[in-house]
C-alpha cells in the first residue's frame, strides 16, 4: 500500500537518508523508531508529499503522494486545534477542509460518533482550553479519523503527555486501530511504545539513515510488557538504538 524506494532527501545541504527503502501493508501498525535527527518526521513529510525528494520514489496505493493526499491524515505531537471552535466543531472543521460543502448534519453526526469512539462523548461542547492535553490529542485523533483516511501518520503524538496519560493513550490508540482497521505509521523514539503498539518496528540508523532492522512483532495483544519475547526485543533494540544515540551525540 505504501512504498519508499531508495529515497534521498537533502535538507540544509545535508543528506538525510542513504537510500531509504521500506514498505507498509494495508492495515499494518508500523512504528518508525530511531535516534533523534535520523529523519523519522522527515519521512512522514515525504510520504505526505510535503517535502520534495532528491532521488528514489514514494508510492501510496500506486499513486504519488501528491495524488494520494486525500487518503492521508496526520496527528502531530501538538494537537493543533482551533481555539475558538469546540471539540465537535474542530472535528467538523477537518471534514469541511477536506470535503468542502456538504451536509452539516451528517458531519456533526460523524464527529459525534468519532468523539464517542475516543472517549469524549460528554465533552463535545468544550473548547480546547477546557480540555486536558490527553483530551485535546483525542480530538486530534477524531479529526484525523473523520476524513476517513487510508493511512494515518502519527508523529510522536503522545510525547508531550504525562506518563500515565501516555500509557492510557497507547492503549486507546491500539483499540481504535483494531476497531477501524486503519493503516498507521507512528513515529516514536520510545522503544517501549513501539513494542506495545507495532506489528512491525522499522528501526532507522543515524543520519544519513537507512533501515537497520525490520522487526516483526508477533506477541498477542494487548501486550504484556514483561513477556519474554518483548523483553528479548527490548534488550536488543536498546542495544542497537542506544549505541546509535551515543554516536549521534558525539
* Residues contributing to the site for ligand ATP (CB under 6 A): 11-12, 16, 34, 36-42, 189, 207
Cell 477542509, located at residue? 97
Cell 494537537, located at residue? 79
- Rounded to the nearest 10 degrees, the angle between the axes of helix 104-117 and helix 133-146 is 130
Write down the least CB distance from residue 45 to ligand ATP, Å: 8
Strand, coil or helix: 78: coil
Cα–Cα distances in Å, from 247 out to 37, 42, 190, 242, 243?
12, 20, 18, 9, 6
Closest CB to ligand ATP among residues 143, 207: 207
Strand residue runs (E) in the chain:
2-8, 10-11, 14-15, 20-24, 29-33, 55-60, 72-75, 151-155, 183-188, 200-204, 211-216
CA 63 to CA 56: how far, in whole Å? 14
Closest CB to ligand ATP among residues 8, 61: 8
Write down the least CB distance from residue 37 to ligand ATP, Å: 4
- β-pairing, 14-15 vs 211-216, is unpaired
Task: Quickly list H helices, 181-224.
Answer: 191-197
Write down the least CB distance from residue 185 to ligand ATP, Å: 13
Cβ 237 vs Cβ 198: under 8 Å: no
Write down the least CB distance from residue 191 to ligand ATP, Å: 13
Closest CB to ligand ATP among residues 75, 114: 75
Closest CB to ligand ATP among residues 42, 90: 42
Write down the least CB distance from residue 225 to ligand ATP, Å: 22
Write down the least CB distance from residue 127 to ligand ATP, Å: 29
Cα–Cα distances in Å, from 8 out to 21, 42, 62, 71, 202?
10, 11, 19, 23, 17
Closest CB to ligand ATP among residues 128, 205: 205
* Set of cell numbers at residue 220: 498477542
Write down the least CB distance from residue 155 to ligand ATP, Å: 7
Closest CB to ligand ATP among residues 9, 131: 9
Closest CB to ligand ATP among residues 189, 236: 189
Amino acid at each position: 500500500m505504501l512504498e519508499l524506494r531508495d529515497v534521498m532527501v537533502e535538507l540544509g545541504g545535508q543528506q538525510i537518508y542513504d537510500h531509504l527503502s521500506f514498505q507498509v501493508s494495508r492495515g499494518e501498525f508500523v512504528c518508525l523508531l530511531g535516534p533523534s535527527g535520523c529523519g523519522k518526521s522527515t519521512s512522514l513529510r515525504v510520504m505526505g508529499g510535503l517535502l520534495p525528494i532528491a532521488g528514489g520514489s514514494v508510492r501510496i496505493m500506486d499513486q504519488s503522494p501528491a495524488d494520494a493526499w486525500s487518503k492521508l491524515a496526520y496527528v502531530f505531537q501538538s494537537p493543533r486545534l482551533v481555539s475558538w471552535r469546540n471539540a465537535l466543531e474542530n472535528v467538523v472543521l477537518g471534514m469541511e477542509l477536506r470535503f468542502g460543502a456538504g451536509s452539516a448534519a451528517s458531519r456533526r453526526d460523524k464527529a459525534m460518533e468519532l468523539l464517542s469512539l475516543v472517549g469524549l462523548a460528554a465533552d463535545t461542547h468544550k473548547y480546547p482550553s477546557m480540555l486536558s492535553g490527553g483530551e485535546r490529542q483525542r480530538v486530534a485523533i477524531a479529526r484525523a479519523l473523520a476524513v476517513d483516511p487510508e493511512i494515518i501518520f502519527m508523529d510522536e503524538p503522545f510525547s508531550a503527555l504525562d506518563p500515565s496519560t501516555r500509557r492510557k493513550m497507547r492503549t486507546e490508540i491500539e483499540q481504535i486501530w483494531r476497531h477501524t482497521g486503519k493503516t498507521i505509521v507512528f513515529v516514536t523514539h520510545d522503544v517501549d511504545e513501539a513494542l506495545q503498539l507495532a506489528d512491525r518496528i522499522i528501526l532507522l540508523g543515524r543520519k544519513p539513515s537507512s533501515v537497520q532492522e525490520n522487526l516483526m512483532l508477533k506477541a498477542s495483544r494487548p501486550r504484556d510488557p514483561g513477556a519474554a519475547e518483548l523483553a528479548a526485543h527490548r534488550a536488543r533494540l536498546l542495544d542497537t538504538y542506544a549505541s546509535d544515540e551515543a554516536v549521534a551525540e558525539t
